[in-house]
C-alpha cells in the first residue's frame, strides 16, 4: 500500500493510493462528488463524531487533483518520453476515438472514391449540446492549471483571447423552439463566472 503526501514540503498528512484510486473509480462510475466521498469516509471511521478531527478536505481535494493529473500522464505514456511531463503538447493526453474516421489511420486508401450511397460509412458525425443551468459562482479563486491544454480543454489564456474577439457578435439561433436559451447564452449574470457549459462530441 502506497502513501501520497498532501504536500511536498514537510508533509504531515498523507492519503493511501487505495483511497485515491477508489474515489477515482467511484466518481467515474457514479458521479460521486469529492465532498460526499470524503464525508462518507469520515462516517465510516467515526460515525458519532466522538473524536475532534481537523478537516483534511482541502488537502484531499488538492491531493486528488494531483493524483488525477499524474494518472492522465501515466495513461498518456509520458513516463516513457525523454522530455517527461513538461514535453507534453496540446491535446496529447486525450485518447483518440477509434471509431471516428481518420484518414491515414483507420480508413481504406480508396475511402474518398466510394459511391454516394456508401459515403456515410466514412463521415464524421459531431453533436453539440449545452446546459445553461449549470453555473459557477464567482468566488475570486485563481486556480492554476496542472496541464494547460494537454487534455480535452484548451489552454485558458489563448481561449479567452479568442473569445474576446467575438464578444459583441450575436449568437446565431438555428433552434425552432421558444425557450430562448441561445438568446440568453451571452447574458452576463452578476456574481457568476460561468453561466453555462457546452460540449462537442463525436456521435
Residue 170 has pLDDT above 80, yes or no: no
Rounded to 10 deg, the angle between the 57-75 and 17-30 helix axes is: 80
Kind and range of the H or E element at 202? strand 197-202
pLDDT digit string (tens) for 105-118?
A: 999 999 989 999 99
- The owner of cell 498518456 is 76
Domain boundaries of the chain, sorted by first residue: 1-86, 89-202
DSSP character at residue 126? E
pLDDT of 188: 67
pTM to 2 decimal places: 0.75
Residue 95 has pLDDT above 90, yes or no: no
Residue 101 has pLDDT above 70, yes or no: yes
Residue 38 has pLDDT above 90, yes or no: yes
The larger pLDDT score, comparing residue 22 to residue 153, is at 22
3-state secondary structure of 38: helix
- Alpha-carbon span 38 to 40, nearest angstrom: 5
- Alpha-carbon span 84 to 147, nearest angstrom: 12
Amino acid at each position: 500500500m502506497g502513501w501520497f503526501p498532501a504536500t511536498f514540503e514537510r508533509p504531515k498528512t498523507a492519503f493511501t493510493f487505495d483511497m485515491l484510486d477508489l474515489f477515482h473509480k467511484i466518481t467515474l462510475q457514479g458521479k460521486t462528488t469529492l465532498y460526499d466521498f470524503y464525508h462518507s469516509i469520515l462516517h465510516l471511521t467515526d460515525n458519532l463524531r466522538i473524536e475532534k478531527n481537523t478537516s483534511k478536505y482541502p488537502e484531499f481535494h488538492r491531493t486528488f487533483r494531483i493524483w488525477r493529473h499524474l494518472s492522465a500522464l501515466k495513461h498518456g505514456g509520458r513516463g516513457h518520453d525523454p522530455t517527461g511531463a513538461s514535453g507534453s503538447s496540446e491535446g496529447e493526453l486525450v485518447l483518440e476515438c477509434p471509431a471516428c474516421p481518420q484518414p491515414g489511420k483507420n480508413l481504406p486508401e480508396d475511402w474518398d472514391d466510394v459511391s454516394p450511397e456508401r459515403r456515410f460509412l466514412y463521415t464524421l458525425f459531431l453533436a453539440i449540446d449545452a446546459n445553461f443551468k449549470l453555473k459557477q459562482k464567482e468566488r475570486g479563486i485563481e486556480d492554476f492549471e496542472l496541464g494547460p491544454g494537454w487534455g480535452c480543454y484548451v489552454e485558458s489564456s489563448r481561449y479567452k483571447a479568442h473569445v474576446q474577439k467575438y464578444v459583441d457578435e450575436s449568437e446565431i439561433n438555428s433552434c425552432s423552439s421558444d425557450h430562448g436559451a441561445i438568446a440568453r447564452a451571452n447574458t452576463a449574470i452578476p456574481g457568476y463566472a460561468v453561466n453555462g457549459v457546452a460540449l462537442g462530441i463525436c456521435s
